[in-house]
Chain A
Amino acid sequence: MTAVANYVKNIVDTVKTTLVGMRITGKYLLQKPITVQYPDERLPIPNRYRGIHYLEQEKCINCLACARACPIDCIEMDAIRHGKELEWVSFTLDYQKCMFCELCVYPCPKDCIHMGTEFAFTSYDRSEFVHDLLSYQGMSREAKARMIEAEKKKKAKEEAKAAKKAAEAAKKKAESEAKGEDAPDAGTDGGEG
């Protein structure tokens, strides 16, 4: 009798377990998928995620602190200084080398280089992995304006100084002329000084 009981039990078990399984898969079938359509929508990325860098170029002073901190020397930068303003040439990061260690971020005195949240970075050519972080080349319009302003100010100051000196020299000359012909070269000396 046990054989027959076993036989019946097998049938009942098969049907029952299949139905249980179908209930579970059916539940999943009706629920909303948990995946997202990647390039169109993205899952939120944690704030402290270490992705591709971004640079606040306005703040950067070209001090090379980050480049020196980099353990694999993948940061290179170049800028021409005009007084206090910078004319940017390049600020490259070689992502073939970069290991996203974040060591470049801490030494920055101006807090201008950051790790971003962008992680998808593909290319058909290796050379494209040398990424330029600059958002503009040369000088920004504001920096240029500031530079021109500063130059103007400097010029004005110099002119004022020169005018003052000239005035002083003229005064001296007048005084010496008034004294007589004792010091004939005094006017030119004052002008040069």
Chain B
Amino acid sequence: MIKLIGAVLILFAGTMIGFQQAARLAARPRQLRQLAHALQRLETEIGYGHTPLPEALERTAEVVAAPLAELFRNAAEGVKGSDGFTFRESWELAMKNGWSSTALRQTELAVMLRLGSTLGISDKEDQLKHIHLALLQLKAEEDAARDDQSRYEKMWKSLGVLIAVLVVILMV
């Protein structure tokens, strides 16, 4: 009886691990797409609206979904305070602290940090160029992430169950 309960638990756990990995793989391209949308919004605010950066970031935060919105909102909050942060410091802090709550990886973080070191300190054309460059890099990452998703998502789902079944068989 106890053996049966154990087997069921192992099967359940294995399935869950598999599904979770698959969900991470599915979330990455989605969030990359959202990040690209956010940067496009920022591009519009800077290029056409001439909106000051803190306000532009807040407006960007309003149009993107949960984990990413926090990144932009925190970056905007940081420069509004009286701590005398430069924009770059505030941006880096917000990105590094919030990154773990997203499904994104270190390569994207590097892209965003590079972008942050240029935002707000040059003229419009230069700003747009940097945002455009970041968008291109994110697009490449997104393509790779979609590739990974189509290749590994189903595999992880079945792999979880199968490994759990293997463990159960070995135990019995």
A, B bound: no
